[in-house]
Amino acid sequence: MGDVFQFMNVQRNPGDKVEVAVRKIEFKEIYTPLSKTGAGEQAGRCLSCGNPYCEWECPVHNYIPNWLQLVQEGRLFEAAELSHKTNSLPEVCGRVCPQDRLCEGACTLNQVDAGAVSIGSVEKYITDEAFKQGWRPDMSKVVWTDRKVAVIGAGPAGLGCADILVRNGVKPVVFDRYEEIGGLITFGIPEFKLEKEIIKTRRLVMEGMGVEFRLNTEIGVHVTIDELLEEYDAVFMGMGAYKYMKGGFDGEHLPGVLEALPFLINNVRNSMGTLPEGEAHLSMEGKRVVVLGGGDTAMDCNRTSIRQGAQSVICAYRRDEENMPGSKREVANAKEEGVEFLWNRQPLGIEQAADGSLLLRLADTRLGAPDAHGRRAAEVLEGSEQVIECDHVVIAFGFQAEAADWFGHTGIKTDKRGRTVAPEKQPFKFQTSNPKVFAGGDQVRGADLVVRAVFEGRQAAEGMLEYLQIW
């Protein structure tokens, strides 16, 4: 019998963090991987609860206690197989999920102040190590059909969809406008959270399973939607949410004011060596930078600017720290790396000074009464205006989905917020108003977590299998 007090005798260990002085000047993951011994020790801290709250809080409902036990017993390949039964990208989710708000936040060990099991670190250990040792998804029992499906978008929703389809004998052909798979998990998430070799390995694995990728191919430019509808038995759309939300104040279009996503994509492409010809690298070296926003994208912009050598980085958010939507872990990392936070600050406008620098006008706020969703609105305090002089302002207020140009003539409906209408609860899950077209992920729910996009892509694939009468 194992040590029943291991959760007390062994401390929580998500992996050692690289020293600040080193990590703030390089674009590499900041958490060192767990060793076989370390992963086993962390897995052994699990209490194997009769009602595993961690599993219920996980959007894909991973069999967490089960694969933790397999890791503890040294049965790595079985753990990898089980992990992939619920999640198409476990090595990605182990790195980028806000575990403190999901599985680890629900861990029973928090109730006795023992520190949650390091679920995310063990999750990425399983797939990373299994891949290194030659494990690949078991496709030996797949019965191939003559059906094929076009998947638009190689982001988490598209990859989740393709994974389920290919495991059920349907040929997925995945189209993406970028030069690598992953969508925003590749181009919108910096390398200090997710190194891109992880994505390249996943592409090779999925190609080995039978998934075909057609990269640098944009629907409506290189291939028409009508051609896809004619050639394929069904179409899945997982095109994400790329339209940035504006602040609605003067000066947003001044030189030096940047949108978060193009800034992050530019930096990732520069690091990958795939920056398009003629596109300059957006470097913050020696610059005074202010990032507006409080989510994970804002933290990515803060920490990217630090690594580029910014003179200073300030993050201004209209609510207090407790009400920030971003991961507490990412906020803590940003603080350690030198980002200054201004809480309860509302941007009023941006002006350009005579020397070309920017003058950002802010006002103090207080939190008012909760709205219908329980969120307290930020109310501006009169007479509290202040000005910050800077070189760049990066706007990271979030992203919205939007309709493609070809939605109209294909009969695909969107709601008033630009999200594709594709309900889960209907005869064929995630089917759009065009019976042959399905959709999922951020395109349907709005900007959200990677793991939820994976889940909806997988669920949509199940709806397609029923639509194609394979199930």
Determine the Cα–Cα distance for residues 345 and 337; give it in Å rounded to an integer: 21
**Which CATH number is 246-395 given?**
3.50.50.60
pLDDT in tens, 207-249: 999 999 999 999 999 999 999 999 999 999 999 999 989 999 9
Determine the Cα–Cα distance for residues 421 and 32; give it in Å rounded to an integer: 41
Q: Where are the alpha helices (DSSP H) in 350-413?
A: 407-410
**Which CATH number is 148-241+400-468 given?**
3.50.50.60
**Which CATH number is 6-21+28-133 given?**
1.10.1060.10
Structure tokens, 406: 């070809």
Given this chain, do its domains 148-241+400-468 and 246-395 carry the same CATH topology? yes
Burial label for 368, CB within 10 Å (0-12, 13-18, 19+), is exposed
Task: Name the band, by pLDDT with cuts 50, 70 and 90, for residue 2.
Answer: low
Assess whether pLDDT exceeds 70 at residue 5.
no
Angle CA 439–444–450, to nearest 5: 95
- Give pLDDT, residue 251: 97
pLDDT in tens, 303-312: 999 999 999 9
Determine the Cα–Cα distance for residues 337 and 341; give it in Å rounded to an integer: 12
**CA diameter of the chain:** 74
Assess whether pLDDT exceeds 80 at residue 331.
yes
Coil, helix or strand for 134? coil
- Of the listed ranges 62-71, 102-111, 304-313, 366-375, the least confidently predicted one is 366-375
DSSP string, 401-422: ----TTHHHHT--B-TTS-B--
Give the single-character DSSP code of 19: P
Determine the Cα–Cα distance for residues 272 and 264; give it in Å rounded to an integer: 12
Assess whether pLDDT exceeds 90 at residue 63.
yes
Determine the Cα–Cα distance for residues 440 and 444; give it in Å rounded to an integer: 5
Task: Name the band, by pLDDT with cuts 50, 70 and 90, for residue 1.
Answer: very low
Tokens 């917020």 identify what position? 417
- Give pLDDT, residue 50: 86
Task: Name the band, by pLDDT with cuts 50, 70 and 90, for residue 9.
Answer: confident
Structure tokens, 127: 């797939």
Which is more confidently placed, 370 or 337?
Answer: 337
pLDDT in tens, 408-451: 999 999 999 999 999 999 999 999 999 999 999 999 999 999 99
80, amino acid identity: A
How high does pLDDT run on average in the chain?
96
Percent of the chain with pLDDT over 70: 99
213, amino acid identity: F
- Give pLDDT, residue 154: 98
Determine how many CB atoms are found less than 10 A away from the CB of residue 326: 23
Percent of the chain with pLDDT over 90: 92
Assess whether pLDDT exceeds 90 at residue 383.
yes
- Give pLDDT, residue 4: 60
Determine the Cα–Cα distance for residues 404 and 429; give it in Å rounded to an integer: 21
DSSP string, 183-206: THHHHTS-TTTS-THHHHHHHHHH
pLDDT in tens, 166-201: 999 999 999 999 999 999 999 999 999 999 999 999
Task: Name the band, by pLDDT with cuts 50, 70 and 90, for residue 371.
Answer: confident
Determine the Cα–Cα distance for residues 273 and 264; give it in Å rounded to an integer: 14
Beta bridge partners of 379: 366
Structure tokens, 137: 């998804």
Assess whether pLDDT exceeds 70 at residue 7.
no
Task: Name the band, by pLDDT with cuts 50, 70 and 90, for residue 3.
Answer: low
Domain limits of the chain?
6-21+28-133, 148-241+400-468, 246-395
**pTM reported for the whole predicted model:** 0.95
Determine the Cα–Cα distance for residues 282 and 268; give it in Å rounded to an integer: 11
Beta bridge partners of 380: 365
